[in-house]
């Protein structure tokens, strides 16, 4: 009887355990799938959408209108956002969130990639608010002058920032370009570099100066303001040269007393005998050369002199020893290619390659879109400007060799 009671107790205990587990003891398969989906949505590509803009708002009496402007590029001053956490993120007044920007310290030239996750800073005197993580990576403090530029980073860098992890810094900005950017800093607030006032020529000259001759970076900084103002004056002089009539007064022609003859246009003019130079025994090639023209050519005369009569007789030329022509060929600096972007999707990479007339090169689980190759660095830089104008602001030039 005792054994029978023990068996009954064991069966009752086992039945209660099954009943409790069925009522709510463990997670079902749909619940596990839901947890995995929410985690993927928090850190996957879908976490970047939809982007939030919001309504216009006023800070310190100034109106700010949020806009999805991919060409955003401005300079200003940074502040600190203690509520941003340890992730590399920023707060911005007008850029959509989430979006991605490159922040450059104009004091050190260091550039980091950050994620726009909040609206702010709520002061008109600052352009961006850095989270503690972004502040630590950039090495900036309150009021540090910065450049903020909207970019489109590859997906693997987006994933790192979404997970709260920093990505490696970009290449440091050369001192010559920093000097140009500091000239654009306002007293407070921000100043756009994407408008007509952007010193594109100065930036290109500064970057080329820093890459070709680093030792002359200080000289490039001195010439940067002149280069920034050059396009307007050059354009004005160019138009003036083709619209104004040439000055032909006697006073204008007599400014050079050493050589009284006016300059002769190439390929036209009457027969004029070049000045005779005494030839030494060692320089037979310095013998005078007679320049002849056809009788129909119109002649000119100096003030107070009779017009020269065209010489219809054939003019003999003294044999002159000429130097062998030098073949001018474009010296190739090597092979270069322009990498526009890297995609995790082959379809997106093919679409971008068709748009840029480029090609796709697989690299692990990513697909790189490139154009080229180009024979010279100058050709590659010209192609780079076109690729960036098409919206791929992170495009770079690489050596294909």
Q: Which of 36-45, 85-94, 210-219, 305-314 has the highest mean pLDDT?
A: 85-94
Residue 84 is predicted with a pLDDT of 82
Sign of the alpha-carbon torsion through 132, 137, 142, 144: negative
Q: Is the pLDDT of residue 68 over 90?
A: yes
CA separation for the pair 156, 99 (Å, rounded)? 15
For 231, other C-beta atoms within 10 Å of its C-beta total 13
Residue 326 is predicted with a pLDDT of 38
295-315 exposure pattern, b = at least 16 Cβ within 10 A, e = fewer: eeeeeeeeeeeeeeeeeeeee
Residue 164 is predicted with a pLDDT of 93
Average pLDDT over residues 273-294: 50
Q: Is the pLDDT of residue 52 over 50?
A: yes
Question: If pLDDT is split at 50, 70 and 90, which confidence band does 96 have?
Answer: very high
Q: Which residue has the higher pLDDT, 251 or 177?
A: 177
- pLDDT, one tens digit per residue, over 166-225 is 999 999 999 999 999 999 999 988 999 986 544 455 555 555 655 544 444 455 555 555
Q: Is the pLDDT of residue 55 over 90?
A: yes
The distance of Cα 308 from the centroid of its chain, to the nearest Å, equals: 59
Residue 8 is predicted with a pLDDT of 65
Q: Which of 183, 237, 173, 233 is nearest to 207 (CA)?
A: 173
Q: Taking the domain 57-211, which CATH number applies?
A: 2.40.40.10
Q: Where in the chain are all domains bearing CATH 3.30.70.1070?
A: 336-399
For 147, other C-beta atoms within 10 Å of its C-beta total 26
Residue 5 is predicted with a pLDDT of 59
Q: Is the pLDDT of residue 241 over 80?
A: no
Residue 372 is predicted with a pLDDT of 83
Q: Is the pLDDT of residue 26 over 60?
A: no
Q: Give me the percent of the chain exceeding a pLDDT of 90.
A: 33
Bridge partners for 190 per DSSP: 76
Q: Where in the chain are all domains bearing CATH 2.40.40.10?
A: 57-211
Average pLDDT over residues 110-139: 95
The per-residue DSSP string of 91-115 comes to EESSS-BSEEEEEEETTT--EEEEE
Q: Taking the domain 336-399, which CATH number applies?
A: 3.30.70.1070
For 120, other C-beta atoms within 10 Å of its C-beta total 17
Question: If pLDDT is split at 50, 70 and 90, which confidence band does 4 have?
Answer: low
Residue 74 is predicted with a pLDDT of 96
Residue 186 is predicted with a pLDDT of 94
177-208 exposure pattern, b = at least 16 Cβ within 10 A, e = fewer: bbbbbeebbeeeebebbeeeeebeebbebbbb
Q: Give me the percent of the chain exceeding a pLDDT of 70.
A: 54
Residue 160 is predicted with a pLDDT of 95
The mean of the pLDDT values for the chain is 73
- pLDDT, one tens digit per residue, over 6-19 is 656 666 666 666 55
Q: Which of 35-44, 66-75, 234-243 has the highest mean pLDDT?
A: 66-75
Residue 228 is predicted with a pLDDT of 54
Residue 9 is predicted with a pLDDT of 64
Residue 123 is predicted with a pLDDT of 94
Q: Which residue has the higher pLDDT, 333 or 362?
A: 362
Q: Which of 389, 371, 391 is nearest to 380 (CA)?
A: 371
Average pLDDT over residues 79-84: 89
In the block, tokens 């920023």 appear at 90
Average pLDDT over residues 284-301: 50
| The overall pTM is greater than 0.85 | no
Average pLDDT over residues 102-111: 96
Of 149-153, 205-209, 284-288, where does mean pLDDT reach its minimum?
284-288
Residue 328 is predicted with a pLDDT of 33
Residue 378 is predicted with a pLDDT of 84
């Amino acid at each position: 009887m005792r054994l029978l009671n023990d068996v009954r107790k064991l069966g009752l205990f086992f039945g209660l355990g099954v009943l409790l587990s069925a009522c709510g003891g463990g997670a079902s398969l749909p619940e596990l799938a839901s947890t995995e989906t929410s985690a993927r949505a928090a850190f996957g590509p879908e976490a970047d959408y939809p982007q939030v803009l919001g309504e216009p708002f006023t800070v310190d009496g100034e109106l700010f209108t949020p806009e999805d402007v991919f060409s955003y590029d401005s300079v200003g001053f940074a502040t600190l956002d203690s509520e941003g956490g340890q992730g590399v993120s920023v707060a911005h007044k007008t850029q959509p969130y989430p979006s991605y920007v490159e922040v450059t310290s104009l004091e050190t030239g260091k550039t980091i990639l950050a994620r726009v996750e909040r609206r702010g800073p709520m002061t008109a005197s600052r352009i961006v608010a850095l989270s503690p993580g972004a502040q630590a990576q950039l090495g900036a403090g309150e009021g540090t002058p910065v450049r903020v530029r909207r970019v489109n980073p590859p997906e693997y860098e987006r994933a790192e920032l979404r997970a709260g992890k920093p990505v490696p810094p970009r290449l440091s900005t050369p001192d010559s370009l920093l000097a140009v950017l500091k000239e654009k800093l306002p007293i407070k607030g921000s100043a756009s570099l994407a408008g007509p006032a952007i010193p594109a020529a100065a930036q290109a000259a500064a970057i080329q100066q820093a890459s070709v001759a680093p030792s002359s970076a200080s000289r490039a900084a001195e010439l940067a303001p002149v280069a920034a103002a050059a396009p307007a004056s050059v354009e004005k002089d160019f138009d003036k040269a083709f619209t104004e009539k040439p000055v032909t007064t006697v006073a204008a022609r007599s400014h050079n007393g050493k050589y009284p003859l006016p300059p002769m246009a190439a390929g036209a003019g009457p027969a004029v005998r070049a000045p005779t130079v005494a030839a030494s025994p060692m320089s037979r090639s310095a013998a005078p050369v007679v320049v002849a023209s056809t009788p129909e050519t119109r002649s000119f005369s100096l003030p107070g002199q009779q017009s020269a009569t065209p010489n219809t007789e054939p003019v003999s030329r003294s044999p002159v020893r000429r130097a062998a022509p030098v073949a001018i060929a474009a010296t190739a600096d090597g092979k270069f290619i322009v990498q526009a972007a890297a995609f995790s999707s082959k379809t997106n990479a093919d679409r971008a390659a068709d748009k840029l007339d480029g090609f796709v090169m697989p690299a692990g689980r990513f697909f790189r879109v490139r154009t080229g190759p180009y024979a010279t660095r100058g050709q590659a830089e010209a192609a780079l400007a076109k690729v960036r104008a098409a919206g791929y602001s992170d495009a770079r030039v690489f050596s294909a060799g």
